[in-house]
Structure 1
Amino acid sequence: MLLSHNFELSEEILPKLSREEFTEVFEEGLSKHPQISCRLVNNPHWIVEVLFPTDDLSPKQVGEMCAQALRQKRLPQKQTENLVYDILILGGRKTTPAMSSSPDSLQPGEWGVDVVETISGQQFLSSIDWEVKTAGKSEDRIFKVELKAQL
């Protein structure tokens, strides 16, 4: 599973995370699950690879863990009192040929996951036509995790 970061907030609200900091969110936040490992990848779009046993965990379950890890990391970083924002974990299984042969690029059958931090998850989903793009796709091809982060 490869993760990207879509930061749709003002840095006056929360600081933007570097690629290394974004990777640390999941290395630390998922460390209590010994069957899950994470690493920084060398790719312009994807940042973190999350490896997990698919016999034990579904991609959506790991997505839920990722959302919780990000919320926990963000708690002490808030710049504003009573901050409420949305974390979206939007996953899709690659069904088209790979864009590159690099081991750090998304390959057919692998999960690409956009980790989104935004004031309004509903507006973000509408802006990317999520409902249209995912219509008729089953859970073995796509998933969505929504978490209201109240900091």
Structure 2
Amino acid sequence: MTTFILSHNLQVHSQEVPAFLLEELAAGIQSNAATITSANVIDHPHWILSLTSDSSPSDMAKDLVVAWKKLRSQLGHDSNHTVLALGGRKDSEATPGAPLQQGFWGVDVVETQDEKTFLQAINWDVLKASRPADGVFEISSNS
């Protein structure tokens, strides 16, 4: 079983791309993603959703990005931007009760107009290089 703990980074500043209501986001992802078996809102200042799937992390991330774009369109929001899923596996012990537990994936879903500039701004290549190859992923709606 694969577990994603999601955060959302909305870099598109437009009334046409509003912030999601979290309950609506959870239901929309679960209904639009073929591989995601559960989606639950998390009461946490950084993490917003917990998702589970029987798929591999990369397959689940691809499904998540497609479902996210599809939900934006269904809600009548602009979806003419890039959605990124940037994930890293939690390999160290976690604080008891924390949403992101050892073996889970912390995934930042980013909505941006400029994928390349965003990834450079957060030094993504450096962040990826410091992780084991099987402990990190980057999925883009442009791929």
Counterpart in 2 of 1:36? Answer: 37
The equivalent residue for 2:48 is 47
After the TM superposition, which of the residue ranges 121-130 and 39-48 deviates more from structure 2?
39-48
| 1:113 equivalent in structure 2 | 107
Quick one: percent identity of the two aligned structures?
30
CA distance in 2, matches of 1:101, 1:136: 25
Separation (CA, whole Å) in 1 of partners of 2:67 and 2:111: 13
Deviation digits for residues 120-150 of structure 1, max 9, x if unmatched?
Answer: 111111111000111163442000001139x
Is 1:146 the counterpart of 2:140? The answer is yes
Structure 2 runs not aligned, ≥5 long: none
Q: Does 1:12 align with 2:15?
A: yes
SS in 2 for 1:95: coil
SS at structure 1 position matched to 2:142: strand
RMSD: 2.1
Residue number in structure 2 paired with 1:58:
56
Q: What's 2:24 paired with?
A: 21
Alignment partner for residue 89 of structure 2, among 88, 93, 100? Answer: 93
Name 1:75's counterpart in structure 2: 73
Residue 126 of structure 1 pairs with residue 120 of structure 2: yes
Structure 1 runs (4+) greater than 3 angstroms displaced: 136-139
Letter in 1 for 2:51: V
Q: Any idea what SS the aligned residue of 1:36 has?
A: strand
**TM-score, with structure 2 as normaliser:** 0.85
Q: Which amino acid in 1 is paired with 2:136?
A: I
TM-score where L is the length of structure 1: 0.81
In the TM superposition, what is the alpha-carbon distance from 1:27 to its structure 2 partner? Answer: 1.9
- Contact 1:38-1:48 at 8 Å conserved across structures: yes
Aligned to 1:84: 80
Following TM superposition, by how much is the alpha carbon of 1:17 offset from its aligned partner in structure 2, in angstroms? 0.8
